[in-house]
Amino acid sequence: MLTATRVQAPSSLQWVSLFTAALLVFPTAYIVYVAMTAAPAVWTRLWSTRIPELLGNTLSLAVGVALTTLILGVSLAWITVRYDFPGRRIWEWALALPLAMPTYVLAYVYAHLMGMGGPAEQWWQLLFGPEARLPSPQSFAGVTMIMVLDTFPFVYLLVRSALQNLNVSFEEVARACGVSPWATLRRVTLPLIRPAIAAGLALVILYVISDFGAVSLLRYQTLTYAVYQQMTSRYDHAAASILSLLLVVMAIIFLMTERWFRQRSRFYQTSGRYRRSTRQHAGPLGTALITSYVVLVFGAAFGIPVAMLIQWSVEAISQGALDTRFLGFIWNSSFLAALAACGAVIIGLPLAYLASRRPSRLNIACLQAAYAGYALPGPVAALAVLVLFTHFAPALYGTVVVLVIAYILHFLPVGLQSMEPALQQVTPNVEEVARTLGCTTHQSLWRVTLPLVRNGFVVAWVLMFLQTMKELPATLLLRPVGFDTLAIRVWLESSEEYYQLAAPAALLIVLLSLPALMLLVSKDWRGDPQEGIK
Amino acid sequence: MALFPRTLFALTLGLSALLLSQWPTRIAEAADKLVVYSGRAERLIKPVLDEFQAKSGIQIDLLSSGTTELVNRLQAEGDHTPADVFLTNDAGSLEHARELKLLRPMNMREVERAIPSQYRASDNSWIGLSGRFWIVVYNTNMVKPDQIKSLLDLGQPQWKDKIAIPNSGSEYLQAGVSVIKTTFGDDRTKQFLQGLKSNAGSQVYQKSSQIVEAVAKGQVAVGIVNHYYIYRHLATQPTAPIAAIMTDQQEGGMGAIMNVTGIGVTRASKHVDSAKLLIEFLVAQAGQKLFADLDKEYPLHPDVKTDPALVDRHSFRAALVPLARLAELREATLTLIEQVGLR
């Protein structure tokens, strides 16, 4: 390990990061405060009625989705990086597309397809008799499947990028020393991509436990859904805060586990001897297997839902659902998402940089603070921001600023998950060389570190852009009057069962997210980690 | 090589500039403008507001959201609220907003002439516009209408796995339980809710329209919904095997549970005159007809005719619990609902 940690006096960067962390931790602190000061009667009431069921449902869903995405994500990444098969370039790209699909859209499409009397059931009954029943999309299996289809790209993308940046020499050395291919995979490759797997799974789990759209449509009782129900049916937020506190604690436990995994294995890409792995050519049988696997996953996660959306959109448009207001919604959505993503990258940079370069307790604590927001369900994060602004900056209330801050708070962890590993993979030696060659700290940051971590940061930007685009509860609570986004349109229409009318906006969210996704997976951004130094 | 950070900063600067350029539009107070917070589905209110905008020239900015969310938002915004008017589906929530001093008492002769006093707040800080009933929808292939007389029948074990209910966050359910609780007392209500919970199982829905859909498909035999969802479903699918039962009409029975959609002017509003024009428009005969028919509700103006598709308003009785009491009853109702553990 080539870490070089030096003790330094707090720099201006440190102050910035402290300040940001304090701001980011405020909503959580507020929620904890409200929960702790709630009447004991509220606590006992919740414990005796709701909490055991909610905890059980939430945990089992998180674990179920995590395990399934692990298998799906790693296997798909492995196939696309290590094998060559017809259409590989297209599938490589296509498998990231489900990220553009909001869970609530996927949930609705499947509720329609697999629900009672839906097309899938009619087929099923044609095959197995009129009494045959499909597993309900509202069941544990159904909800798990829908969440998996929406979240597996997190694992897929991060593992894929780790596999691509993996120095194949390590594996070759192992093989040359007589280690079997399986043992090489287990003892060399998997440990090397473990940080990426852990980061991907952490994203998936945080996503699942804070998701609102799918679980509410499928009526699957999780903590986040219960928080929303409490918030929208109660004037005081004691019960909602208590349930949120449980969520935050749960998220922190997950994050600490992930960090523990990553801390135990910190790898730097050493310069010079990096070589990319060569692809193995898949034979006819292999090609058939790979293709059907990939087609199945892609079809279920993206192909079928989009086909449904297109069909509904055509019906809706023929009924005259599109008008000029749509242009405004498109602009509002893209504008908000871009602003939030840029803001979050800038805010996240000092936090991630300090935590990975000078991992003092303070710096790591600052970084951890930033992760708190993701565990807060959207509505609660929104509420806390709302209180902050009405107390301290009422003039800003009801403006876009408030909304953007809530987004940053909520989605910064998504970005940090890929900014942090990117920074960790740059060996501090490179910066030190820059310093010895006469660069100042600032110069070395700008001219060496940032270009090197560009990939990770682009991924972070895109992930945050996509998440913001799809965000629902915080947007609902904080949007300025007359500032509807596409997600709001989908929600307004679909919550009244006008699913056809909701389809054009849903389809547009998907379409607008596509360029950002293309950027994410296109070749230009793919890491040649040496590029920055040459 | 430092191209990427520069691009990022340029992008952020550009976007921030755009953000600032939008600033004045919010700060500037347009004279002829009303901001409406609406707890009712946009589709069911926007056409009426568009009509008003066309007639009066007053521009309407509409924010549609959940009822309780909007009350919370109004409270959080306090004096800074941009809202001039609060319009929503539940008298209990309107009354609660009044108690929080979020609404402004109004003195309007047009209102007093048009809307009977039981459908308004005592000081007219909220005014009912249309009535709806929380009743039973059944699948005509699966159930005979004489099998159900009272809402409370649905708590009986014979309906196990055959009913669909709204979730406990629904303001209609809360208002309905308040009325039942006032009429029948805590014990019978609790018994009823326990029966309802066990009979519904996982068939707990967020929206009445989903319940109607489930009944029409035969997924369940019976559901509890607001009456207009049945007629809205029938309007698009006239052959659907569903019909309404006006419950609790037997001799000495409770009567069908009623609630209203109402409107109030916020205390912080700076456009009270424009808001008054909107209220005048909505309580006048033409406005009442438009407003009620759009959503298949019952107009509250005694001289305005109900949509002929609906059950004649004179053929059934409404429960006697005053609407304004729904607010004070709510807390105890929520506690009961939670004791039972309704989802």
Is residue B216 within 8 A of residue B143, CB to CB? The reply is: no
* pLDDT at position B230 over 90: yes
Is residue B13 very low, low, confident or very high in pLDDT (cuts 50, 70, 90)?
A: low
Question: CB-CB: which of A116, A395, A446 is closest to B5?
Answer: A446
Q: In angstroms, what separates the C-alpha of A344 from chain B's closest C-alpha? A: 10
Q: Give the number of A-B residue pairs with CB atoms closer than 8 Å.
A: 144
**Residue ranges per domain, chain B?**
32-131+259-313, 132-257+327-340
Determine the angle formed by the axes of helices B42-56 and B285-294, rounding to 10 degrees.
Answer: 150
pLDDT at residue B2 greater than cutoff 70: no
Kindly determine whether residue A492 and residue B42, on different chains, have CB atoms separated by under 8 Å.
Answer: yes
Mutation choice for A interface testing from B8, B99, B232 by most A CBs within 10 A: B8
Say yes or no for a CB contact (<8 Å) between B68 and A457: no
Closest CA to B43 of A493, A533, A125, A162: A493
The H-or-E segment that residue A335 falls in is helix A325-357
Residue A526: per-residue pLDDT: 40
Q: Print pLDDT tens along chain A (534 aa).
A: 444 444 455 577 788 888 888 888 877 788 788 888 888 888 887 887 788 888 999 999 999 999 999 999 999 999 988 888 888 888 888 898 898 888 888 988 888 787 766 777 777 777 777 766 677 777 888 899 999 999 999 899 889 888 887 777 778 888 888 888 888 888 888 888 888 888 888 889 888 888 888 887 787 888 888 887 777 777 777 888 888 888 888 877 887 787 777 666 555 555 556 666 677 787 888 889 999 999 999 999 999 999 999 999 998 888 777 777 888 888 889 899 999 999 998 888 888 888 877 777 888 888 877 776 666 777 777 767 876 776 777 777 778 888 888 888 888 887 887 787 777 777 777 777 888 888 877 777 777 777 877 878 888 888 888 888 888 888 877 888 878 888 888 877 776 667 788 889 889 888 877 877 777 666 444 444 333 332
Chain B positions in Cβ-Cβ contact with residue A404 (cut-off 8 Å): 19
Which positions in chain A touch B205 (Cβ < 8 Å)? 219
Asked if the domains B32-131+259-313 and B132-257+327-340 are classified in one and the same CATH topology, the answer is yes
Tell whether B50 is within 8 A of chain A (Cβ).
no
Bridge partner list, B276:
none
Tell me which chain A residue has its CA closest to the CA of residue B7: A342
More confident residue, B35 or A251: B35
Helix A486-494 and helix A450-470: axis angle, to 10°? 30
CA atoms within 13 A of residue A171's CA, in its CB half-sphere:
22
| CB-nearest partner of B77 from A342, A390, A399 | A390
- CB neighbours (10 Å) of residue B231? 18
What chain A residue is nearest to B34 in terms of C-alpha separation?
A481
Cβ of B77 within 8 Å of Cβ of A398? The answer is: yes
Residue B15, pLDDT above cutoff 60: yes
Contacts of B295 in chain A (CB under 8 A): none
CB-based burial label for B292 (10 Å; 0-12, 13-18, 19+): buried
Task: With CB atoms and an 8 Å threshold, state whether A482 touches B63.
Answer: yes
Q: How far is residue A219 from each of residues A144, A224, B207, B261, measured CA to CA in Å? A: 13, 12, 11, 27
Tell me, what's the pLDDT at A469? 86
Q: How do strand B59-64 and strand B242-245 relate by DSSP bridges?
A: unpaired
pLDDT score, position A266: 56
CATH of domain B132-257+327-340: 3.40.190.10
At B32 the pLDDT is 79
Instruction: Work out the minimum CA distance from A79 to partner chain B, whole angstroms.
Output: 31
Evaluate if residue B260 carries a pLDDT over 80.
yes
- Please tell me which of the candidates A117, A342, A532 has its beta carbon nearest to residue B15: A342
Tokens 């929620």 locate to A31
B8/A390 CB distance under 8 A: no
Instruction: Give the mean pLDDT of B175-186.
Output: 92
Does the beta carbon of B56 lie under 8 angstroms from any beta carbon of chain A?
no
B241 to chain A, minimum CA–CA distance in Å?
15
pLDDT at B20: 57
Kindly report the backbone phi and psi dihedral angles of residue A528, in degrees, each rounded to the nearest multiple of 5, phi listed first.
Answer: -100, 100
Nearest-CA distance B223 → chain A (Å): 16
DSSP string, A231-295: HHH-SS-HHHHHHHHHHHHHHHHHHHHHHHHHHT------SS---PPPPEEP-HHHHHHHHHHHH
**A240 contacts on B by Cβ (under 8 Å):** none
Task: Verify whether the Cβ–Cβ distance B210 to A497 is below 8 Å.
Answer: yes
Its pTM surpasses 0.80: no
Contacts of residue B240 in chain A, CB cutoff 8 Å? none
In chain B, which among 184-223 make CB contacts under 8 A with chain A?
Answer: 202, 204-207, 209-210, 213-214, 217-219
Q: At residue B262, does pLDDT exceed 50?
A: yes
Q: What pLDDT does residue B12 have?
A: 65
- Identify which of A361, A477, A489 has the alpha carbon closest to the alpha carbon of residue A410: A477
Residue B4 forms contact with A (CB below 8 Å): yes
Query: Is A457 within 8 Å of B4 when comparing Cβ atoms?
Result: yes
Task: Say what the pLDDT of residue B25 is.
Answer: 46
Cβ–Cβ of B15/A335 closer than 8 Å?
yes
Considering only the beta carbons, identify the residue of B18, B26, B171 that sits closest to A335. B18
Distance from CA of A169 to the nearest CA of B (A): 28
Q: Domain B32-131+259-313 - what CATH class?
A: alpha beta
Q: What is the ipTM of this complex?
A: 0.72
Query: Residue B225, SS3?
Result: strand
Cβ neighbours of A397 in B, within 8 Å: 77, 80
Mutate one of A481, A493, A519, A533 to test the B interface: name it (highest B CB count within 10 A): A481
Give the closest-approach CA distance of A154 to chain B in angstroms.
Answer: 23
Cβ distance of A233 and B210 shorter than 8 Å: no
In chain B, which ranges are E strands? 33-38, 59-64, 85-88, 127-139, 163-166, 204-205, 222-226, 242-245, 257-265, 298-299
Could you give the CA distance from residue B30 to residue B271 in angstroms, rounded to a whole number?
10
List of chain B residues whose C-beta atoms are within 8 Å of the C-beta of residue A221:
343
**Nearest Cα residue to B61 out of B89, B26, B106:** B26
Our CA-based measurement puts residue B8 at a distance from the nearest CA of chain A, in whole angstroms, of 7
**B236 — contact with chain A (CB < 8 Å)?**
no
Answer yes or no: do B202 and A219 touch at CB < 8 A: yes
Residue A465's SS3 state is: helix
Q: For position A529, what pLDDT does the model report?
A: 39
Q: How far is B114 from chain A (nearest CA, A)?
A: 30
Residue of A nearest to B15 (CA): A339
Which residue of chain B is at minimal alpha-carbon distance from A501? B43
B43 contacts A532? CB cut-off 8 A: no
Spatial contact of B167 and B206, defined as CB atoms under 8 Å apart? yes
Q: Per the CB < 8 Å rule, is B207 touching A496?
A: yes
> What is the predicted pLDDT for the residue at A4?
46
**CA distance to A159, A166, A204, A489, A533, per residue, from A163 (Å):** 6, 5, 19, 39, 21
pLDDT at A276: 67
Instruction: Tell me if A495 and B82 make a contact (CB, 8 A cut-off).
Output: no
Distance (Å, whole) CA B244 – CA B215: 11
- Tell me the two tokens of residue A303: 């192909």
**All domains in chain A, ordered by first residue:** 12-268+284-525 (1.10.3720.10)
Alpha-carbon gap, residue B230 to B216, rounded angstroms: 10
Average per-residue pLDDT for chain B: 87
Chain B residue nearest residue A384, CA to CA: B76
Tell me the three state secondary structure of residue A210.
Answer: helix
If residue A84 lies in a helix (H) or strand (E), which one and from where to where?
A: strand A83-84
Determine how many CB atoms are found less than 10 A away from the CB of residue B142.
14
Helix (H), strand (E) at residue A83: strand A83-84
A451–B43: do the CB atoms touch at under 8 Å? no
CA dist A21 and A370 (Å) reads 6
- Res B241 pLDDT > 90: yes
